[in-house]
């Protein structure tokens, strides 16, 4: 397939955890606006049907008193100010729960939807975000097309619901003339709650589909090509070529230190054909002998060569050499090897002349 994604190949791979976390850090999260609308409408309906309806008679009574006494209010600023504040407080007392609901619910459930994501940097102006071309792409993008279709469907469905409710109430209008004001208010409340519940039921279905679409669209936008995954691995774990170079340098340094340790070792135990293991024993220390260098084939030959040049004794013991080679470097030999190693060291201690140090045990 032609490279249509800026050199990255076809973006057919699911996003990695790092890609998802980076998108989240940048504020790209699956957040359904329809869910927020559903929660807000539900909150408004609950507050209205429980608090506002019960508090409305008290508000109406206080406003009646205010209007009846309006002519008795003194015309001085203090009296007018007091009357205005009294009327405003009565209205605020009625509207405050709705205002708090409208402010608190989107904030709380918005944080829950984003798993408490908070980005203060999103509040700072960014000139780079102002791009006419990006704006045009967004207008004609598939996400905006889906939003347009969804809005039109919602408008049609809600209008049909309201039309049906209004048609039913019109049929009862002749009977409503004989109702008391209390019953009329009760009936209006019932019809209002019924209408809102129908709207909420439809909104609930829309919310489910919108949430699924939002998650699907986000994952689709974050999909990666194979080259993207390779580049991410390079950034996360480092370039393989550089890592290989670093390993080579570390190996050379390790071997250089190991060869220096051969010169300081007490004895080199060898299998003349393949293995060489250098052992260091400090008679002034209470610790057991340590494996300070080891090698096989070419490296074993190099260890023997350095040992010869440094006049380090070389002892041939193939079974012991093979066993000691399996031990980690710079570790004390385990108890099972103490006896054969102690025998070698004791043998070396007994040797007096330099020429006899290379005799086999």
CA angle 137–143–144, rounded 5-degree value: 70
Phi-psi region of 297 (alpha: psi -120 to 50; beta: other; left: phi over 0): left
Cα–Cα dist 292/282, whole Å: 12
Cα–Cα dist 49/47, whole Å: 6
Tell me, what's the pLDDT at 153?
A: 87
For residue 285, the SS3 value is coil
Break the chain into its structural domains and give their ranges.
29-221, 243-358
Cα–Cα dist 349/266, whole Å: 10
- In order along its 361 residues, the chain shows pLDDT tens digits of 344 444 456 788 888 888 888 888 777 888 888 888 889 889 988 888 788 767 777 777 777 777 776 666 666 677 667 777 877 887 888 888 888 888 898 888 888 877 777 666 555 655 655 556 655 566 667 777 878 888 888 889 888 888 887 887 777 667 766 776 677 767 777 787 788 888 888 889 989 988 888 888 888 889 888 888 888 777 766 666 777 787 888 888 888 888 888 888 888 889 877 888 988 888 777 778 888 888 888 888 988 898 888 888 888 888 888 888 888 888 888 888 888 888 888 888 777 545 544 444 5
Can you name the residues that pair with 224 across neighbouring β-strands?
13
Tell me, what's the pLDDT at 3?
A: 41
Torsion angle in degrees (nearest 10) through CA of 240, 242, 243, 247 = 130
Token pair recorded at residue 361: 């045990």
Least Cα distance to 157 among 188, 201, 190 occurs for 201
Phi, psi of 57 (to 5 degrees): -60, -40
Q: Are strands 290-296 and 331-332 parallel, antiparallel or unpaired?
A: antiparallel
CB 32 within 8 A of CB 207: yes
> Into which CATH architecture does domain 243-358 fall?
3-Layer(aba) Sandwich (3.40)
Cα–Cα dist 37/141, whole Å: 23
42 alpha carbon, distance to own chain's centre: 30
For residue 92, the SS3 value is helix
CB 352 within 8 A of CB 313: no
Q: State the pTM of this model.
A: 0.52
| Cα separations in angstroms, 295 against 82, 268, 269, 304, 316 | 98, 11, 11, 10, 15
């Amino acid at each position: 397939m032609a490279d249509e994604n800026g050199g990255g190949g076809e973006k057919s791979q699911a996003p990695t955890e790092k890609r998802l976390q980076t998108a989240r850090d940048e504020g790209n999260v699956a957040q359904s606006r329809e869910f927020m609308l559903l929660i807000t409408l539900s909150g408004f309906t609950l507050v209205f049907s429980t608090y506002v309806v019960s508090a409305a008679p008290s508000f109406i009574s206080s406003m009646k008193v205010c209007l009846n006494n309006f002519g008795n209010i003194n015309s001085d600023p203090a009296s007018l100010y007091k009357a205005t504040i009294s009327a405003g407080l009565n209205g605020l007392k009625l509207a405050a729960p709705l205002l708090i609901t409208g402010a608190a619910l989107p904030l709380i459930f918005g944080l829950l939807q984003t798993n408490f994501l908070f980005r203060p940097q999103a509040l700072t102006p960014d000139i780079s975000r102002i791009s006419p071309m990006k704006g045009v792409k967004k207008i004609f993008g598939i996400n905006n097309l889906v939003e347009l279709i969804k809005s039109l469907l919602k408008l049609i469905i809600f209008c049909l619901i309201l039309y049906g409710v209004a048609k039913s109430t019109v049929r009862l209008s002749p009977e409503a003339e004989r109702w008391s004001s209390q019953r009329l208010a009760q009936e209006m409340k019932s019809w209002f709650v019924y209408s809102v519940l129908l709207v909420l039921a439809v909104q609930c279905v829309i919310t489910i589909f919108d949430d699924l679409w939002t998650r699907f669209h986000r994952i689709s936008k974050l999909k990666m090509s194979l080259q993207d995954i390779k580049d991410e691995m390079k950034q996360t774990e480092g370039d393989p070529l550089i890592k290989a170079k670093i390993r080579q340098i570390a190996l050379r340094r390790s071997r250089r230190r190991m060869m220096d340790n051969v010169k300081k070792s007490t004895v080199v135990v060898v299998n003349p054909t393949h293995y060489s293991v250098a052992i260091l024993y400090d008679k002034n220390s209470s610790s057991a002998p340590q494996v300070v260098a080891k090698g096989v084939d070419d490296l074993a030959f190099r260890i023997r060569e350095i040992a010869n040049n440094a006049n380090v004794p070389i002892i041939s013991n193939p079974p012991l050499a093979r066993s000691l080679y399996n031990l980690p470097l710079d570790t004390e030999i385990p108890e099972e090897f103490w006896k054969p190693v102690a025998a070698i060291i004791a043998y070396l201690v007994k040797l007096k002349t330099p020429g006899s140090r290379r005799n086999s045990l």
